Structure 1
Amino acid sequence: MERNINFDKWKWVQINKNDLGTMWEQETTPSGWETTIRRNITNCVKVHGGIDGEMSVNGSLIYRQNVDEEEDRQIFHFYLTSQTLVTIDLEFTAMKQISAEMLLRQLDKCDNAVDGFLFLLGELVNDLLVEIDQFEESLQSLMWGVKKRNEMRTLEHVFTQRHELMICKNLLIPIQELKMAIEEMDFPNVNNGEIFTRTCKRIDRAQVLLREYEQELDTMIHLEEVISSHRGNEIMKTLTVLTTVFTPIMALGALWGMNFKNMPELKWQYGYLIALLLIITSTLLLYRYLKTKGWTGDLLKGKKRGSFFK
Structure 2
Amino acid sequence: MEHTFNEGKWKWHDFQTGQASELNEITAKYPTCNNWYTNIKENQANFLQLNTQTRGEEYIWGSLIYRQDIEEKHEKNIFHFYISNDFFITIDFDFSVLKCNPESVQNQMEQAENGVEGFFILLGEILLNYLKKIDEYEEQLHDLLWKMKEQNNLEILERVYENRHELLIWRNLLIPITELKYIAEEAYGSDINRMSEFSRVATRIERIQMLLNAYQQEIDTMINLEEVVSTHRGNEIMKTLTVMTVLFTPVMAWGALWGMNFKVMPELEWKLGYAMAAALILVSTVGLYIYLRMKGWMGDILKGRKKNSFFK
Instruction: Give the TM-score taking structure 2 as reference length.
Output: 0.92
Distance 1:232 1:188 in 2: 59
Q: Give the 3-state SS of the residue equivalent to 1:59 in structure 2.
A: strand
Aligned to 1:42: 45
Determine if the alignment matches structure 1 residue 120 to structure 2 residue 160.
no
Distance 1:18 1:49 in 2: 30
How much has 1:19 moved relative to structure 2? 3.3
Distance 2:11 2:96 in 1: 18
Q: 1:166 is aligned with what amino acid? A: L
Distance 1:129 1:210 in 2: 10
Q: 1:39-74: CA deviations, max 9, x gaps?
A: 321112111126786111111100000000000111
How much has 1:26 moved relative to structure 2? 2.0
User: Which residue of 245, 258, 263 corresponds with 1:243?
Assistant: 245
Q: Give the 3-state SS of the residue equivalent to 2:310 in structure 1.
A: coil
Distance 2:74 2:53 in 1: 32
Distance 2:23 2:175 in 1: 32
Aligned to 2:12: 12
Which shows bigger deviation, 208-217 or 182-191? 182-191
Q: What are the within-5 Å matches in structure 2 for residues 46-61 of structure 1?
A: 46-49=49-52, 54-61=57-64
Aligned to 1:160: 162
Distance 1:82 1:50, change over 3 A: farther
User: Which residue of 71, 75, 78 corresponds with 2:78?
Assistant: 75
User: Which residue of 277, 280, 287 corresponds with 1:275?
Assistant: 277
How much has 1:15 moved relative to structure 2? 1.8
Distance 2:13 2:22 in 1: 14
CA contact (8 A) 1:248 1:282 kept: yes
Aligned to 2:303: 301
How much has 1:129 moved relative to structure 2? 0.5
Distance 2:108 2:205 in 1: 19
Q: 2:52 is aligned with what amino acid? A: G
Aligned to 1:210: 212
Q: Could you list the structure 1 runs, at least 4 aligned residues long, displaced by more than 6 angstroms after superposition.
A: none
Q: 2:79 is aligned with what amino acid? A: F
How much has 1:190 moved relative to structure 2? 2.9
How much has 1:305 moved relative to structure 2? 4.0
How much has 1:76 moved relative to structure 2? 0.7
- Give unpaired runs (5+ residues) of structure 2: none
Q: What are the within-5 Å matches in structure 2 for residues 114-263 of structure 1?
A: 114-186=116-188, 189-258=191-260, 261-263=263-265
CA contact (8 A) 1:46 1:57 kept: yes
Q: 1:135-170: CA deviations, max 9, x gaps?
A: 000111111111111100000000011111111111
Which shows bigger deviation, 294-303 or 169-178? 294-303
Q: 2:217 is aligned with what amino acid? A: Q
Q: 1:111-130: CA deviations, max 9, x gaps?
A: 11111111111110000001
Determine if the alignment matches structure 1 residue 64 to structure 2 residue 62.
no
Distance 2:97 2:302 in 1: 60
Distance 2:56 2:122 in 1: 25
Distance 2:259 2:21 in 1: 93
Distance 1:81 1:187, change over 3 A: farther
Q: 1:251-303: CA deviations, max 9, x gaps?
A: 22233345555432121122122111210111112222222332222122344
CA contact (8 A) 1:82 1:187 kept: no
Query: Percent same amino acid at aligned positions?
Result: 48
CA contact (8 A) 1:65 1:74 kept: yes
Distance 2:64 2:290 in 1: 69
- Give unpaired runs (5+ residues) of structure 1: none
RMSD: 1.9
Q: Give the 3-state SS of the residue equivalent to 1:269 in structure 2.
A: coil
> How many pairs are equivalent?
307
Instruction: Give the TM-score taking structure 1 as reference length.
Output: 0.93
Distance 1:243 1:21 in 2: 82
